[in-house]
Amino acid sequence: MSTARSVSFAIRRVRSPRIRTGNLRPTFQQIPRARFSTSAPTRAEESVTAAPPKQSKYTTDAYPNLKRNPNFGELTDAHVQHFKTVLNHPSAVIDGFTTDATDDIEPFNCDWMRKYRGHARLVLKPQNAQEMSEVLKYCNEHKLAVVPQGGNTGLVGGGVPVFDEIVISTARMNNIRSFDENSGVLVVDAGVILEVADKYLAERGHIFPLDLGAKGSCHIGGNVAANAGGLRLLRYGSLHGNVLGIEAVLPDGTIIEDLSTLRKNNTGYDLKQLFIGGEGTIGIVTGVSIICPQRPKAINVAFFGIESYEQALKAFLEAKGHLSEILSAFELMDGRSQELVHKVTGLKKPLDGSYPFYCLVETSGSNGEHDSEKLEGFLEHVMGESIVADGVLAQDETQAQTLWRWREGITESLSHLGGTYKYDVSIPLSELYQLVDDTRERLTKVGLVGDDESYPVREVLGYGHMGDSNLHLNVAVRQYNKEVEKMIEPWVYEWIAKRNGSISAEHGLGIAKREFIGYSKNETMIKLMSQLKKLYDPNGIMNPYKYM
């Protein structure tokens, strides 16, 4: 009998009305201090950033209406020479302008999904705010457009150029500046990789208050610029609350030094907030200070098969009630997404049967026994009342990691299918999954969905952070296809706007959503946003053709 099976058995005992809660305690494990990581490679996924196996079109071909802004300057040898002098380090400049560096530049031109591809011929990697300031000031003076880039894991094409914008990467800004164990405040360079920071914190009994599937590649500056949400927002709250300070550079070279390490500091407008979710359109974040909670000593992960969305919603409300302060994630996955992960990764399924819905529930707390007791109460309830149909509970860290892979592996697995139209949306909980059904029905009706190569759409599936009312609708296509796109957009945005949802919950606007911002923000808001953009970036050089 495999481990997973025996785990499954452990929960099935909970289902049986004859077995009382008390008996179950030994099957719940207190998982040691160390945190989960899904970065261990599995068969099909070598690394979370491995690019899908196909070549992408230029964004300029996919969006023929986009025209290069004629006000922008053109790169010259003299410009490139200037940057080389300022940055003065061989690895600080990738020069595809005066030399042939196509292969080195390609990863900076192309996004993680291979959906967007730019024509940049220069990548700059300043090492600190001062260098960043000199670079940006020069670009601004010469009206050279730029794209800030962190780990390039963004999912809306925001971090890659469209035309010949200069890529400014934070890859060489990777120092952890300080950590205070009393307060839990961490100060880092913008280019520190999320997983690196979290490992550093783990050694000091703390945890980064953000976690997501791309943690092995994404930069903290990129997370802040994208206002990433991730897997544990439910527990630790948003970056707007956790980021205490930033250091950033405006296009005119102004260095904003606002790296406060204080939890409370009511001395004026909270300017840093504009950079959180600003997607590199008003300046570049070079440093971040953030408050990090204590690392939970005990982590439990359970995985359920569920018969309907209504039951999944019930399970979530029960989890909130029973698990309360220790609930750290409640993730929803539909059956199709899990079949896909199974096919791509070859992982053994955690449950025997097949269900239309699955949920992953995580608890994190300071006392394993208490947490297990709470979880027990929850399990007893949801299984006793048949809210969930079947379930497994991780018995150790490895099993917990494996269960997480069923959730975290979806994005990566999707990328093996071809292209994906991704819609990362907020919808009131009661209707969250309806969007997936409606989309599938709409595309099926017009004959776009099918199993053989003649159909453009392979699959319509959904999953997401249920705890935050955040659904990821994914339309997996054999190749990006205008006919499919037209059937979905703007229909999908209208659907969301009707329910007062958000057309971008956590992935941001980038190039993918910029035209559709009107579905989530009214004209006044857009006017006020343009006003801010003009205030900070009057020449419009910061990440053009994106955001709005």
Ligand X SMILES: Cc1cc2nc3c(=O)[nH]c(=O)nc-3n(C[C@H](O)[C@H](O)[C@H](O)COP(=O)(O)OP(=O)(O)OC[C@H]3O[C@@H](n4cnc5c(N)ncnc54)[C@H](O)[C@@H]3O)c2cc1C
Regarding 264 and contact with a second copy (CB under 8 A), the answer is yes
Nearest Cα residue to 501 out of 492, 510, 514, 511: 492
Per CB under 8 A, which of residues 375..434 are in contact with a second copy? 426, 428-430
**Is 429 within 8 Å of 499 (Cβ atoms)?**
no
The one among 81, 91, 99, 294 contacting a second copy by CB under 8 A: 294
Regarding 324 and contact with a second copy (CB under 8 A), the answer is yes
The one among 520, 543, 544, 545 contacting ligand X by CB under 6 A: 543
Q: Which is nearer to a second copy, 117 or 374 (CB)?
A: 374
Per CB under 6 A, which of residues 118..177 are in contact with ligand X? 147-155, 158-159, 170
**Is 419 within 8 Å of 115 (Cβ atoms)?**
yes
**Nearest residue to the partner ligand X, using Cβ:** 222
Q: Which is nearer to a second copy, 283 or 418 (CB)?
A: 283
Q: Which is nearer to ligand X, 112 or 421 (CB)?
A: 112
Regarding 55 and contact with a second copy (CB under 8 A), the answer is no
Nearest Cα residue to 291 out of 355, 237, 370: 237
418 vs 401: CA distance, rounded Å = 27
**Is 469 within 8 Å of 413 (Cβ atoms)?**
no
The one among 52, 161, 221, 462 contacting ligand X by CB under 6 A: 221
73: Cβ contacts below 8 Å, ≥ 6 apart: 79, 142, 143, 144
Nearest Cα residue to 355 out of 375, 333, 340, 370: 333
Q: Which helix (H) or strand (E) holds 255?
A: strand 255-258
Regarding 509 and contact with a second copy (CB under 8 A), the answer is yes
The nearest distance, CB 208 to a second copy, in angstroms, is 16
Regarding 468 and contact with ligand X (CB under 6 A), the answer is no
The nearest distance, CB 367 to ligand X, in angstroms, is 28
The two tokens of residue 154 are 């963004």
What letter would DSSP give residue 307?
A: S
The one among 42, 49, 367, 481 contacting a second copy by CB under 8 A: 367
Q: Which is nearer to a second copy, 113 or 171 (CB)?
A: 113
Nearest Cα residue to 518 out of 534, 540, 496: 496
Per CB under 6 A, which of residues 170..209 are in contact with ligand X? 170, 190
The two tokens of residue 39 are 């970065």
Q: List, in sequence order, the alpha helices (H) in 366-451.
A: 368-384, 397-415, 434-445
How many residues lie near a second copy (CB under 8 A)?
87
Regarding 180 and contact with a second copy (CB under 8 A), the answer is yes
Percent of the chain that is helix, strand, coil (3-state, to 5): 35, 20, 45
* Binding partner of 152, given a second copy, ligand X, none, CB within 5-8 angstroms per partner class: ligand X
The nearest distance, CB 135 to ligand X, in angstroms, is 13
Residues in contact with ligand X, shown as a per-residue x/- string from 30 to 69 under the rule CB under 6 A = ------------------x---------------------
For the packed helices 397-415 and 3-15, what is the interaxial angle rounded to 10 degrees?
110
Selected range binding a second copy among 312-320, 344-352, 382-390, 397-405, rule: CB under 8 A? 312-320
Regarding 270 and contact with a second copy (CB under 8 A), the answer is yes
- Rg of the chain taking only CA atoms, in angstroms: 24
Regarding 254 and contact with a second copy (CB under 8 A), the answer is yes
Regarding 279 and contact with ligand X (CB under 6 A), the answer is yes
238 vs 210: CA distance, rounded Å = 8
Q: List, in sequence order, the alpha helices (H) in 190-334.
A: 194-202, 220-226, 233-236, 239-242, 309-323
* Cα 79 off chain centre by: 35
Regarding 323 and contact with a second copy (CB under 8 A), the answer is yes
The nearest distance, CB 121 to a second copy, in angstroms, is 30
* Binding partner of 543, given ligand X, a second copy, none, CB within 5-8 angstroms per partner class: ligand X
Length of the chain in residues, anyone?
Answer: 548
Regarding 22 and contact with a second copy (CB under 8 A), the answer is no
* Binding partner of 263, given a second copy, ligand X, none, CB within 5-8 angstroms per partner class: a second copy
Per CB under 6 A, which of residues 490..509 are in contact with ligand X? 506-507
The two tokens of residue 292 are 């990090």
180 vs 133: CA distance, rounded Å = 28
179 forms beta bridges with 186
Which residues contact ligand X (rule: CB under 6 A)? Answer: 48, 112, 147-155, 158-159, 170, 190, 212-214, 218-219, 221-223, 225-226, 228-231, 279-280, 284-285, 411-412, 506-507, 510, 543
